[in-house]
Amino acid sequence: MDFQELLAFAERHPMLSLGLVAITVALVYTEIARLFRGFKALRPAELTALINRDNALVVDLSASNDFEKGHIAGSKSVQPSQFDPENKLLAAAKALPVVLVCRTGQASADAAKRLKKAGFESVYWLDGGVAAWQQADLPLVKGRG
């Protein structure tokens, strides 16, 4: 397939071509935004290494009953409604690696953005949340922690 054939296809199928361009632009934008957001997504294996190597503080933003049903060993429970970068638990760890966790990874990504804006040096979030942790066959602890 040469450039002329590609151009002919684009002329015959303008909506498909426009869709391809839009998806490509969206993917490029997403990847560039990920590079400049200031915090990093972790997979479960990377989180265990960070906990073991750097004594990272793991903050679980799950609801109380979800936290008690199962959470990562050593994680601290902070309710989303009470999440504040000035919280004494968080403020004391401003220079440490802080990893934010929730059930699916959505709330923790937003919280990571807030911590980074508040001047925390090393901010991470567990991509996929506790669900990803369970899919990796890693253990959860029950109870209040």
Domain membership of residue 45 (yes or no) is yes
Return the CATH number at 91.
3.40.250.10
Q: Which of 128, 5, 139 is nearest to 74 (CA)?
A: 139
Domain containing 23 equals 3-35
Q: How far apart are the first and last CA of the chain?
A: 60
Provide the domain count of the chain.
Answer: 2
Distance set, CA 102 to CA 10, 64, 81, 90, 92 (Å): 44, 11, 13, 16, 21
Global pTM value: 0.73
**For residues 101 and 58, is the Cβ–Cβ distance under 8 A?**
yes
In terms of domains, do 51 and 120 share one?
yes
Residues 72-125 pLDDT 10s: 999 999 988 888 888 887 878 888 899 999 998 888 888 998 898 888 889 999
